[in-house]
Amino acid sequence: MSQPDEAQIQRAAQRLRQGGLVAFPTETVYGLGALATDAQAVASVFTCKGRPSDNPLIVHISARREVAQVARHVPAAAQALMDAFWPGPLTLVLPRQPHIPDGVTAGLDTVALRMPDHPVALRLIAAAGPLVAPSANRSGGPSPTTAQHVRDDLGAAVMVLDGGPCRIGLESTVVDVSQGELRVLRPGHLTAAELAQVAGLPLAAGAARAHPSQSAPASPGMKYRHYAPQATVDWLRGSAAPAQLPPDTMALVVTDIDVRGANVVRLKDTRELAQQLYGRFREADELGLRRVLVEEPPQGEPLAEALRNRIQKAITRR
């Protein structure tokens, strides 16, 4: 996969500086970028995605010195996490600088910040400045993990830098360390336990709310319908699994469980399931299938908690 050249990066940066939108690859999913300091461009991100305006955005930076432009104060625990995991799939919620547009933070006093681990993202941000970047999909559907997914969702109006398929395939871990404990607001590739250890903080009890029936979501975005294809999603669970699947059903399987059918997809492990999950949801819709059954990721496997969170949300469609 050839990566965008310098001329393409410069064209994209110019479009961003003029208030336009540019989709770009990260290690997690593709982001829909706009200049974080341009309130009008930020507003157009919400329109383009059909995103509820009370769901705040993540600001993406390319260098540690940019942190101070966005965050008013960085606790020692957050510094330690940045040292250990940036660039990488970790988003920190920090007190905001006053000049950050309200549209970015949905009026909150905090701002979410991350440094993505992808050369194209880093080059684009270095050329244009800090960027807000929600996943570059229509709000509610599966996040895009290829440039084609972005084009399918947002059409030709949005410029897309094609960096090939995303390496991780699920969105970053979002954490808050402002209360003297580590709260995971959205689970991801980096687990609560490894983050708490590096931060030197205790884990907050029951912080991530994987199930939408629990009240008061800690991260505003977690209350909305997310990640769901048109097809119905459900768990494929051991003994309850039909050995022979109907032709209108896809199964995503990580163990050697006995299921057969035209649309059984056997993944090597939970990493491969994460990397392909959203693309397989999209494929099910393209094939006109009615159901996608996903095997529960075995406890303790890489990305198991993040997978359970996204799949459960696709099942409940909220």
User: Coil, helix or strand for 152?
Assistant: helix
- Between CA 284 and CA 120, with CA 219 as vertex, the angle to 5 degrees is 60
185 interacts with ligand TXA by CB under 6 A: yes
Binds ligand TXA by CB under 6 A, chosen from 16, 20, 23, 31: 31
Our CA dihedral for 96, 141, 283, 230, rounded to 10 degrees, sits at 170
Binds ligand TXA by CB under 6 A, chosen from 74, 111, 196, 231: 111
Residue 19 tokens read as 């208030």
Selected range binding ligand TXA among 12-20, 87-95, 274-282, 310-318, rule: CB under 6 A = 87-95
Shortest CB 52 distance to ligand TXA, Å: 10
113 interacts with ligand TXA by CB under 6 A: no
- Between CA 127 and CA 79, with CA 171 as vertex, the angle to 5 degrees is 65
The CB-side HSE value for 88 (13 A sphere, CA atoms) comes to 13
- Residue 235 identity (one-letter amino acid): W
Shortest CB 318 distance to ligand TXA, Å: 14
Shortest CB 212 distance to ligand TXA, Å: 12
N-to-C CA span, the chain? 35
What is the rounded CA–CA span in Å between residue 81 and residue 276? 28
- Between CA 111 and CA 119, with CA 113 as vertex, the angle to 5 degrees is 155
Binds ligand TXA by CB under 6 A, chosen from 172, 191, 249, 276: 172
219 interacts with ligand TXA by CB under 6 A: yes
Binding footprint of ligand TXA, residue count (CB under 6 A)? 30
H-helix or E-strand containing 186?
A: strand 183-186
Binds ligand TXA by CB under 6 A, chosen from 12, 21, 22, 28: 28
The CB-side HSE value for 212 (13 A sphere, CA atoms) comes to 16
H-helix or E-strand containing 135?
A: none
Shortest CB 137 distance to ligand TXA, Å: 8
Shortest CB 128 distance to ligand TXA, Å: 15
Shortest CB 196 distance to Mg ion, Å: 25
What is the rounded CA–CA span in Å between residue 13 and residue 35? 9
Residue 245 tokens read as 């699947």
208 interacts with ligand TXA by CB under 6 A: no
37 interacts with ligand TXA by CB under 6 A: no
11 conformational bin, left if phi > 0, alpha if psi -120 to 50, beta if neither: alpha
In the list ligand TXA, Mg ion, none, the entry touching 22 (Cβ below 5 to 8 angstroms by class) is none
Binds Mg ion by CB under 5 A, chosen from 26, 28, 135, 173: 135
Q: Are 287 and 230 in contact (CB under 8 A)?
A: no
221 interacts with ligand TXA by CB under 6 A: yes
**Residue number with the shortest CB distance to ligand TXA?**
221
270 interacts with Mg ion by CB under 5 A: no
Selected range binding ligand TXA among 26-34, 76-84, 193-201, 237-245, rule: CB under 6 A = 26-34
Pairing of strands 183-186, 232-236: unpaired
Selected range binding ligand TXA among 11-19, 104-112, 252-260, 298-306, rule: CB under 6 A = 104-112
- Please give the residue ranges that form the binding site for ligand TXA (CB under 6 A): 26, 28-29, 31, 55-58, 89, 91, 93, 105, 108, 110-112, 114, 116, 133-135, 171-172, 174, 185-186, 219-222
